[in-house]
A and B are shown apart, each in its own frame.
Chain A
Amino acid sequence: MAYERKFKIGKPILEVNNISLAFGGVKAITDTSFDVLEHEVRAIIGPNGAGKSSMLNCINGIYKPQKGTVSFRGQEIPNITPNIMAQMGLSRTFQNLALFKRMSVLDNILVGRKLHTKTNFLEVALQLPKVKKEEKLNRERSEEIISFLEIEDIKDTPVGKLPYGLQKKVELGRALATDSSIILLDEPMAGMNVEEKRDMCRFILKVNDELGTTMVLIEHDMGVVMDISDRVVVLDYGKVIGDGTPDEIMANQKVIDAYLGVEH
């Protein structure tokens, strides 16, 4: 890629140190460490059941790993909950879509503005001027995101009625609305056709390029991963088997073995 980046890749923003996670006797992740640098696009790949989604859930605080720590901007976070991570500036999307199905697209994205909403329920009930002002700002930002994602025509539709590809877009929009410095994307392109995938890649790169948002994504489409990511980490059976630039990963024998299978 021969273009000049507006946001140069910087210091590690997120570090995962020696995480181990087990469900009863099943080990999902074993002693895994990797880092994510600021402003980069980082992909996590691996065969099914490699522990990729579990990894994101550990970073985001939905799962509590038995061992290991997560550091954000060099600072170790003791009791991770999704809420704390959101406040630190980490947002995410989910593998099997976790949208607010009965709410409209606009309302879904507005929920992403939660942390930029400071007024309490009493002020909202009384519709004080500062509530109106804040709501106006939040709506303007949400409309911006909606037009960025090119989904203006469906903004008042309840999300549950939308096709899968559009729902994925809305979920990205909701994560963007938080103005987080890092966004975790759990299979943002699963189940999409080529054209939709290309759109999604464009959005991801554009966000990364224009806003400098760090992107961590799980993806199965190798072509996409190799195209858009700066660095790739490969998990297999809960362990890191490769970590490096796309070219390094493609040349890594362990990775090739994990994907193609190897004779024992």
Chain B
Amino acid sequence: MKPVFMTYTKKDLTNLAVCMVLSVLIIPTFIKTEYWYTSILIPWLCLALATIGQQIVMGYTGQLALGAAGFMAAGAFAMFNLILRVPDLGFVGSLIVSGLIAAAFGILFGLPSLKVRGIYLMVATLASQFFIIWMIDKFGWFKNYDSSGIITAQDIVILGKPFTTPLAMYFVCLAVTTILTLLAMNMARGSTGRNWMAVRDMDIAAESMGVSLLRTKVQAFAISAFYCGVAGALFAFCYLKSLEPVAFDIKLSFKILFMCILGGLGTINGAFIGAAFILLFPVLLNAIGNNVFHGAIDATIISSIEQVIFGLLMIIFMIYEPLGMAKLWENFKQSIRLKLSSSGIKSVKSSAQKSE
């Protein structure tokens, strides 16, 4: 058999088609309540994007980094200042440039990865988290000398059209997330991704094959920070609709880390699964608290239970399924396929022969 190479298999294309139909047609037709867009779908897309950034540096390149929220803050405030000071750039232009500014921070704070690794690198990258937030707080210029501490984000205007309704904002987030996800998948499956994973799995061998550790690691940090920066800008402009450094604190960084791990390290779809889980789980717990126990359990206790369950899940996943929920989903599909094929092996075989 001659080796055949295609970027996308038929399965990928059907998956993409299903996702697109679901997100572009079905969701907007059936979901009318604003709550779903403003509180669930928009933050989900934004955080999934940031989680892809975390995946690139942690899941693919194996560099334990903790500071995604810092890069998100850099992206968000870059966006605010670009729209304010360089209005000619437009929304999309500003979004790209704010991603690039975050990427510059990514390169700066990724440099320690050349010397330290593991938990020490995590501590080193934590510097980005604190430095960026401190910088924004310290220099009034970044906030346009606003004394209130919370700045309202400008309205999103693309090609002269305002995008201010929740549905419109959802589409903005969806478009950006879809494009960047596809680009990330291309990189992850191509030679770029192989270099990342080679550095992750055995850096000395990677170097002996001509993979430059310096370039690969710095590249991963830059791309990761770009994704986080764009995600941060969307997070501020579509979800929070305001800019405050406090929104991008260490808790958010940890949240993104959890999304990354629970979703499945080294998978792109895991980013979406992990983000959905971490966002929806508290909603679910609250619903259970209200409907099953009728408010008998205090809200603070529920949020504590949430933390306990997250912690437990992290431990369980780390021990039993380090590849996270994406892998569980894969296994589930596999078992369904097996069940289907064992009941109809003959039909599958004959159709396989035909397709060949």
List the interface of chain A (C-beta within 8 A of B). 60, 62, 81-83, 85-87, 91-92, 94, 98-103, 107, 110-115, 117, 119, 121, 124-127, 131-132, 134-136, 138-140, 143, 174, 178
Contacts and interface: CB of A to CB of B under 8 A. Distances in A.
Nearest to A133: B5
Contacts of B223: 121
A176 to B, nearest CB: 11
B100 interface: no
Contacts of A114: 191, 194-195, 198, 209-211
A112 B3 contact: no
Given A132-B7, A136-B5, A111 B206 contact: yes
B207 interface: yes
Contacts of B184: 125
B204 A62 contact: yes
> Ordered nearest first, which 6 A-B pairs have the shortest CB separation?
A98-B205, A86-B210, A100-B201, A124-B190, A143-B3, A125-B183
A75 B201 CA distance: 33
Helix, strand, loop or mixed for chain B's interface?
A: helix
B187 interface: yes
B152 interface: no
B341 interface: no
Chain A facing B: main interface SS: helix
A144 to B, nearest CB: 9
B194 A82 contact: no
Given A99-B205, A121-B223, A110 B197 contact: no
Given A101-B201, A139-B5, A127 B191 contact: no
Contacts of A127: 7, 186, 190
B190 A111 contact: no
A111 B208 contact: no
B202 interface: yes
B219 interface: yes
A107 B209 CA distance: 13
A83 B187 contact: no
B208 A102 contact: no
B212 interface: yes
Given A98-B202, A121-B192, A178-B209, 11 more contacts: A82-B204, A86-B209, A92-B208, A111-B211, A114-B194, A115-B210, A124-B187, A125-B186, A135-B190, A136-B5, A174-B205
Nearest to A146: B3
B192 A125 contact: yes
B110 interface: no
Given A86-B208, A107-B197, A100 B190 contact: no
A110 to B, nearest CB: 6
A100 to B, nearest CB: 4
